[in-house]
Structure formats: C-alpha cells, structure tokens
Chains A and B, each alone.
Chain A
Amino acid sequence: MVYKKKQVPYTRRRMTQFDARVMENREVAQDYFEIFLEWPAPARAPLPGQLVTFNVEKGFHPFLRRPFAFASYDKSERLVSVIYHRRGPATQLISSLRSGDTLDVIGPRGFAFQPPRDADQPLLVGGGIGTGPVVFAANWLATKGLHPRLILGFRHQGLFPALTLRPEVELQVCTDDGSLGFKGNVRAFLSTIQASEKDNAFVWACGPYPMLKAVHEWSQAEGLPCQVSVEEIMACGVGACLGCAVETVDARQMVRVCTEGPVFDSKVLKWT
C-alpha cells in the first residue's frame, strides 16, 4: 500500500500551555505556600479538582513537570492559585518565585469533582496538601447556592493555612494534637457527625492516601456517595506516558490520574 497522508491544515488550537505571570507567592502555613498566577482569557477556566502542571526548571533537574491542584479561581481578576508544600527541590524553586516572574504552565487538565444530582449537602474533607482543591470546591459549591461543610485536618495549628472562604462555607478544623479545633483526625471527627447532618450528604475528599481510604470506608458504611482526588507520580501530565495509572476494582482496567482523574468515584479505585 502506498504511503500517503491527507493534507489537512493543522493549527494549534486551545491555549493550554503558556507562561503565566506570578502575581503573589506567600507562605500560608509552616512550609505551605499559596502561589497566585495570572490566568489570561484564552485559557480555559479551571474547575475544583482539576490539575495544572509546572515546568519548574528548564535545565536538567528537577527534570519533570510537577502536577498541582487548583486552590482557587477568580474569574473577574483572571487569577488562579495553588497551595503547595515546600518539601523537595521543585517546590523549593517554586517558593523562590516572586511577583512578575513567569512559570510555564499546562492546564487545566483532568476531571473535576462532579456534583451529584440527588444530594445537596456537601461534606468536603481535606488534609495537608489536599487542602487546596477542597477549599476551591467549597467556595465553588457556595456560589451554586449550597452550604458546604468543610472539614480540614492538620497535625497541629501551625500547619493550618490562612484561607479565604465564602460565608456559606462552614469550616471545621481538626488537629491531631488538639491545638486548634477538634482534637483528632478527620476520620474521628466524621464519627461525631449526627445522622440528621448526613441527610442528602455527599462526600468529596483530597489528602494523604490513608485519609482518603478512611473517608472512603466511612462513606461506604454510611451509604454516602464519595469522590476522591488522588495523587500519583506523573511524567507528562497529559495522558501520554501512562506513568500515573492506578488500579481499579476491575482487574482488567487501570485509570490515568492525570486524564481519567484526578477525581474518581471512590468505589472505582482499588484500595490497598
């Protein structure tokens, strides 16, 4: 067969990769930072749960882009933010960025949290680095006329970040050492929730794996729908490398965190 190609004019379509201008980058808790980026009009508006990747270093190390979840989107100011934990060379470099610097970004990517049709009481659970996306989700649901309950867990008071929350959001902070709010982790707090408060509830969670697993198991026991945003190491962040694939309850199928996720119905994932 003769090799031939149809000559279809090919043009780059959407603005998904660009140099975003840093507007602010501030420490919001001990070793936790929130970076605000200008989000120009041709870029798509991010939804809670969606990802953005940063090419932090154009040289050799760190070599790969880093994925983060959006923590806010302000349409009128054309501003997005990401809350990140300074814990390695890449986040160290990000924390050194100043207003006016630029950052090579790709996003928004992946599937966002999906509001269920038959439930209207959001129970949003986050902890540590999972705080950003659930805070974004809480503020977003508030604009939809809902009254989200936002449950955030930290090891101690010093890790609780300064947050901007809409008045409709009811915040409950939990700390392992009791230095702020409820003493104990978010799973322990969930046990104290009254039956009436679980009416029509749905659960969205983001945080460390053991927390997500505990929230998933609690939601299953309570019969509440639960969506979780999970983390995995990524190379491309656009669905090409298959590096971030995770296992599902169906042994014949794996799903990519960057593309089919990062938000999944918690019943779909294989919990280990």
Chain B
Amino acid sequence: MDINPAFSFTLKGQAWPGFVGVASGTFGYAKEYDGLSDFTKIGAVFTKAITPEPRLGNPPPRIVETPGGMLNSIGLANVGLEDFIRDKMDFLRRIPSAVVVNVAGALEEDYEKVVDRLEGVEGIWGYEINISCPNVRHGGMSLGTDPRLVEQITARLRGRTTKPLIVKLSPNVTDIGDTASAAQNGGADAVSCINTLVGMLIDLKTKRPVLPLNTGGLSGPAILPVALAAVWKVSRRVKIPVIGIGGITRWEDAVQHLLAGASAVQVGSGSFANPRLAEEVHEGVLEYARSNQLKSLADFHAMAD
C-alpha cells in the first residue's frame, strides 16, 4: 500500500491511510461491503452508532427517497456494545482503514460506558461522538442543540480517552459555529461537519407523514451546499480540523469540501448508490491535487476568504 503522508488525515500522531472516511450509519460495520469496496482506499470506517445495549430501531418504513437525496429514520439500531466487540471488531481489525467508533446513548453515562469499555479493545483509532440522538435527561432534546451540553459531554469523554475524539455536529441549530466552538472547548480533536438535516415528506393518499415518526434525517446530494456553508463557517471559527461530510456523490464534491476548509471528508449515503464512491473520491481528489499543484491536504486551504 502506497500512502502519501501529505494526504493522510492525522490526529494525535495517528494517521488514516488516506483522507476519505465512510460515514456512520452508511457502511454498517464494514463487513457488509466486503467484496464490494476496496478498503485500501478508504481512510476510515465510521461504524454504526454504538450504544451500551442493543437497539432495534424505529418501525418501518425507515427510508424514503427525496429529490436528490433520502430521509432516514433508522433510530440508532445497532447490535450493542458487547456484540459489537465480539462479532464486528474482528473484521474491522483486518481491513487497512482506521476504525472510528461512533458513540451514542440516551444518557451521558451511556457515552462514557461505551468509551470506557472500548478503551481496552485493540484496533480502534478513535471515537466520533453522536450528539444528535435524543437525550432522555433533556426531555428527548439532543445534546447537540445546546453548546453548554456539547462542551460538557465532550469534556467528560475527553477525560476518559487519549485517542482522537471527534464531535459530529448537527446542522439543526441556530449557529453551528457555537457548537463547534463548544466541542473545541471541551477538548475535541476534530469535528465532523455535518450530520443529517431534519426533513419530512407527506403521503397524499394517507395525508400523513411518510415516516412513522414524522421526520427523518435528510442526506444525499441535495444537502451539499448546506454542508459546504457549514464547513466554511466552522473551519473559520475553530482551530481543530474539520472533517467535511454532507452531499458528496462525486470527487468534485469532496474537493469543494476541502477547499471550504475541511481537512478530510466522509462520504455518506452516496455509498448506497455507489459502494465504490469512497475509492473514486480518493482517486479523484489526488488527481485534482496533482493537476493543481496542491502538495498536501493543507494546500487546499490557501484560498482567501
């Protein structure tokens, strides 16, 4: 494997083999794409959100296609912490990609439980904190909408791990710069920018929302401009690296994320249509860098505001 360090996303001295991750919830536990994707060109696999206990998730239908995208209402369905370690880590350790465990929970203690337990597990590069899930203590509101709570949860987890800690920002806020800043203050090493947008579709026959819980998370090419604006804003607000995510279905979209200020990218629901998207983005961005004399990921950020 020929990895160029100038194009390897690195936190705390730990490098990915590349700069393109596959987003949490869109790549399962990676094994689902065995034989379909080339993991040598996937810098990092962000796992399905892991909670202490197994979760079934929401009732069907959980997916609906939208103009240029899709809504999902999966509901953090996952095998739970112990089954994840027992059944899913073996494959994740075998692939070259860095393994970033997406951590979720209904209470702050749940996040701590997941991180504490995984600290003793070999093969994990770092953690991505999902602050968009409903929090039981805060009346079902997500931690991600309140900068004080974002700083608190980040600080609590920072105290429990020396591994890279990434906070995944929700775009469903007044000022995403405030939550990004809170994550930085809490000790995050990077932020993922952005999670899905709240959206809805309504069925003309039933006159009801299509999704059983009414709303879902919007992803896909439709959200690219929203994500780019957020990456632009956040990367000018915080000093920690920004991982651009949202709307990438072609390598050109990833180049835009990097030019907007991202230091790495994640591809999300675009992998559903094209399981080789991450590798195509990897190749396409490198080719763009070569033909534009950009010698490193940092060179993408030289643009004046």
Q: Which residues of A contact B (CB under 8 A)?
A: 1, 3-8, 10, 12-14, 16-17, 55, 58, 60-65, 104, 106, 232-247, 252-254
Q: Is the CB of A238 within 8 A of B33?
A: yes
Does B40 make an interface contact (CB < 8 A)?
Answer: yes
Does B63 make an interface contact (CB < 8 A)?
Answer: yes
- Shortest Cβ distance from B95 into A: residue: A10
Q: Is the CB of A241 within 8 A of B57?
A: no
Tell me which residues across on chain A come within 8 A of B271, comparing CB atoms.
236
Q: Is the CB of B93 within 8 A of A17?
A: no
Interface positions of B from 53 to 99, Cβ below 8 Å from A: 56-57, 59-70, 72, 74, 77, 93-96, 98
> CA separation between A62 and B60, bound complex, in Å?
21
Q: A240-B33, A245-B77 are in contact. List 6 more A-B contacts (CB 8 A).
A: A3-B14, A12-B36, A63-B69, A233-B62, A239-B32, A240-B28
Does B214 make an interface contact (CB < 8 A)?
Answer: no
Q: Pick from B1, B60, B221, B276: contact of A63, CB below 8 A.
A: B221
- Shortest Cβ distance from B94 into A: residue: A8
- Shortest Cβ distance from A7 into B: residue: B96
| Closest-CB distance, B256 to chain A (whole angstroms) | 15
Task: Tell whether A55 pairs with B274 under 8 Å between CB atoms, given A12-B35, A106-B36.
Answer: yes
| Closest-CB distance, A91 to chain B (whole angstroms) | 13
Task: Tell whether A233 pairs with B34 under 8 Å between CB atoms, given A5-B93, A241-B74, A242-B57.
Answer: no
> CA separation between A40 and B207, bound complex, in Å?
46
What are 14 contact pairs spanning A and B, CB under 8 A? A3-B14, A3-B98, A10-B40, A10-B95, A235-B70, A235-B72, A235-B269, A236-B28, A236-B271, A238-B32, A241-B272, A243-B63, A244-B63, A245-B77
Q: Is the CB of A241 within 8 A of B67?
A: no
Contact with A along B108-148 (1 / 0, CB 8 A): 00000000000110111100000000000000000000000
Tell me which residues across on chain B come within 8 A of A65, comparing CB atoms.
272-273
Tell me which residues across on chain A come within 8 A of B34, comparing CB atoms.
13
Q: Is the CB of A16 within 8 A of B74?
A: no
> CA separation between A229 and B14, bound complex, in Å?
47
| Closest-CB distance, B8 to chain A (whole angstroms) | 13
Tell me which residues across on chain A come within 8 A of B63, comparing CB atoms.
64, 233-235, 241, 243-244
Q: Is the CB of B28 within 8 A of A239?
A: yes
> CA separation between A195 and B26, bound complex, in Å?
50
Majority secondary structure, B binding face: loop
Q: Pick from A14, A17, A63, A254: contact of B57, CB below 8 A.
A: A254
- Shortest Cβ distance from B92 into A: residue: A5
User: In the complex, which of the residues B40, B96, B273, B275 has the most CB atoms of chain A within 10 Å of its own CB atom?
Assistant: B273
> CA separation between A60 and B250, bound complex, in Å?
10
Tell me which residues across on chain A come within 8 A of B65, comparing CB atoms.
62-64, 233
Q: Is the CB of B35 within 8 A of A16?
A: yes
Does B39 make an interface contact (CB < 8 A)?
Answer: yes
Q: Pick from B27, B62, B275: contact of A17, CB below 8 A.
A: B275
Task: Tell whether A3 pairs with B163 under 8 Å between CB atoms, given A55-B273, A232-B61, A239-B32.
Answer: yes
Contact with A along B251-271 (1 / 0, CB 8 A): 000000000000000000101
Q: Is the CB of A64 within 8 A of B28?
A: no
Does B284 make an interface contact (CB < 8 A)?
Answer: no
> CA separation between A235 and B221, bound complex, in Å?
14
Does B38 make an interface contact (CB < 8 A)?
Answer: yes
Q: Is the CB of B28 within 8 A of A235?
A: no
Task: Tell whether A247 pairs with B74 under 8 Å between CB atoms, given A16-B35, A60-B68, A240-B28.
Answer: no
Q: Is the CB of B39 within 8 A of A10?
A: yes
Q: Pick from B122, B272, B273: contact of A1, CB below 8 A.
A: B122
| Closest-CB distance, A106 to chain B (whole angstroms) | 7
- Shortest Cβ distance from A253 into B: residue: B56
User: In the complex, which of the residues B34, B63, B69, B269 has the most CB atoms of chain A within 10 Å of its own CB atom?
Assistant: B63
Q: Is the CB of A241 within 8 A of B274?
A: no
Does B249 make an interface contact (CB < 8 A)?
Answer: yes
Q: Is the CB of B272 within 8 A of A236?
A: yes
> CA separation between A244 and B37, bound complex, in Å?
21
Tell me which residues across on chain B come within 8 A of A55, comparing CB atoms.
273-274
Does B187 make an interface contact (CB < 8 A)?
Answer: no
| Closest-CB distance, A123 to chain B (whole angstroms) | 28
Q: Is the CB of A241 within 8 A of B26?
A: yes
| Closest-CB distance, A111 to chain B (whole angstroms) | 15
Tell me which residues across on chain A come within 8 A of B70, comparing CB atoms.
63-64, 235
Tell me which residues across on chain B come within 8 A of A14, comparing CB atoms.
35
> CA separation between A61 and B77, bound complex, in Å?
27
Task: Tell whether A240 pairs with B26 under 8 Å between CB atoms, given A62-B65, A63-B273, A235-B269.
Answer: yes
Q: Is the CB of A64 within 8 A of B273?
A: yes
> CA separation between A106 and B36, bound complex, in Å?
9
| Closest-CB distance, B216 to chain A (whole angstroms) | 10
Tell me which residues across on chain B come within 8 A of A241, comparing CB atoms.
25-26, 28, 63, 72, 74, 272
